[in-house]
Amino acid sequence: MAGFVPKGLFGLVREIARHLLRRPVVGIAAVARTADGRVLLVRRGDTGEWALPGGTLEWGETLARALPREIEEETGARFVRAGAVTGVYSRPDRDPRFHAVTVCALCEVEGPVRGPENPLEIREARLFAPPELPAEFAMGMREMLDHALAGGPVALE
């Protein structure tokens, strides 16, 4: 089919462009919880580690629109509502791919969790009861989760 560009190739080109432009990338991470308190996590395809669902903003997109889009793409869960911003994380060494500025926000979701649209990016999505949460997370996201669950003042890194 002429003119067809695989989705994975588009993502690779976008990543290369970010490195060439050498500007921080703005993203969103969701501390997504169900009404009964379970936390929605994704297992990343690149590291195999658990992480908060989320990603980078598309051109012209707001954080408020990126949050439900990323949750749906990565987990298949239904976005119910957004909550408070719980932190802004900008440490340059947190993400080995690029310098990311990540806004972390609470939100409510409902199952079922159907799984990721792109299994190369996200291997699986799963709900965890708080005592079952993994100890290790990708890219400093355990700290983001802990700040959000503690409910204290907004964290700024």
Domain-embedded: residue 11: no
Task: Pick the range with the lowest mean pLDDT from 15-19, 128-132, 151-155.
Answer: 15-19
Tens-place pLDDT, residues 63-89: 999 999 999 999 999 999 999 999 999
Domain-embedded: residue 10: no
| For range 143-156, the mean pLDDT | 90
Q: Rounded to whole angstroms, how far apart are CA atoms 106 and 150? A: 12
Domain-embedded: residue 61: yes
Q: Answer yes or no: is pLDDT of 8 > 90.
A: no
Nearest one of 24, 147, 35, 122 to 70, comparing CA atoms: 122
Tell me the pLDDT of the chain averaged across its residues. Answer: 90
What CATH number is given to the structural domain containing 97? 3.90.79.10
pLDDT (0 to 100) of residue 100? 87
Show the domain range for 45. Answer: 24-156
Give the total number of structural domains in the chain.
1
pLDDT (0 to 100) of residue 16? 76
Domain-embedded: residue 15: no
pLDDT (0 to 100) of residue 36? 97
Domain-embedded: residue 78: yes
Q: Strand, coil or helix: what is 85?
A: strand
Tens-place pLDDT, residues 95-139: 888 788 999 999 999 988 898 999 999 999 999 999 999 999 999
Domain-embedded: residue 9: no
| For range 9-35, the mean pLDDT | 83
